[in-house]
Structure 1
């Protein structure tokens, strides 16, 4: 089943659950941003994940970021069961990538120096 994010959509179905999660902008020494291509919607997204019981939002963001950074194998990043691709992108390449509006907002916050941003 594909995932759909609803934001400011008056026709969105009523919410039936709440899943706290965090994502993080991970930048390497060259200024490139780490993104994953999600398996559920084929869109590019920040590393992120669901919070665990007793975990704070910042702790969750750090944990999920470390999971992605701990995946390099032989100099290459490896995809997870939730992604089809994981890559580093130059900031100027990001605008052309398909992504949901909520992820684009987070990246725009980072580009504009508005960090940390919580949404």
Structure 2
């Protein structure tokens, strides 16, 4: 019998969402190519589209985290070019389940960065079942969690960093 995989359930503005049991800093990157397209990947644990995102490891900066996560998840090497914002709203909690058991409920502390590609090739990974460059006008065709769409929309529509 194989072990059950961890399943991720994102809650947004849900009064019935479980209460957070932890907070963890993370980086996400809004990567845009020379044509202005946005780099998106599909998460295999919830089938939603997202920008590259992941937890900050001990001994690394938030910039290093964003660069590492993008490379690990998509195969694309990036250069960070600015700050989209700091997103910490309690409206977003992430529930991690193994089978029917809740392992953790996390309220994200996310620093979202602007970036541009500098190398690498699009590739699928254990963390990305699909990877694509998307024209911003086509984003509505992709199922993106509201908390992530909030980061993307802010990064596309203003140069002023967001702070919750």
* 1:99 matched residue in structure 2: 144
Aligned to 2:34, which of 25, 29, 35? Answer: 29
Cα distance, 1:114 vs. partner?
4.0
Larger RCO (CA within 8 A; separation ≥ 6): 2
Matched, 1:56 2:101: no
How far apart, in 1, do the equivalents of 2:124 and 2:156 lie?
Answer: 25
* TM-score after normalising by structure 1: 0.83
Runs of 4+ in 1 over 6 A off after TM superposition: none
* TM-score after normalising by structure 2: 0.63
Residues 3-39 of structure 1 show CA distances to partners (whole Å, capped at 9, x for unaligned) of: 1112332211121222221101001111111000000
Return the index of the structure with the highest Cα Rg: 2
In structure 2, the CA distance between the partners of 1:81 and 1:63, relative to structure 1 (3 Å rule), is: same
Instruction: List runs of 5+ in structure 2 lacking aligned partners.
Output: 1-5, 78-119
Q: Which has the higher helix share?
A: 1
How far apart, in 2, do the equivalents of 1:9 and 1:63 lie?
Answer: 31
Aligned length: 115
How far apart, in 2, do the equivalents of 1:51 and 1:118 lie?
Answer: 19
In structure 2, the CA distance between the partners of 1:51 and 1:95, relative to structure 1 (3 Å rule), is: same
Matched, 1:89 2:94: no
RMSD: 1.9
In structure 2, the CA distance between the partners of 1:80 and 1:22, relative to structure 1 (3 Å rule), is: same
Instruction: List runs of 5+ in structure 1 lacking aligned partners.
Output: none
Residues 62-95 of structure 1 show CA distances to partners (whole Å, capped at 9, x for unaligned) of: 33234431451xxxx1111111100000110012
* 2:13 matched residue in structure 1: 8
How far apart, in 2, do the equivalents of 1:14 and 1:62 lie?
Answer: 31
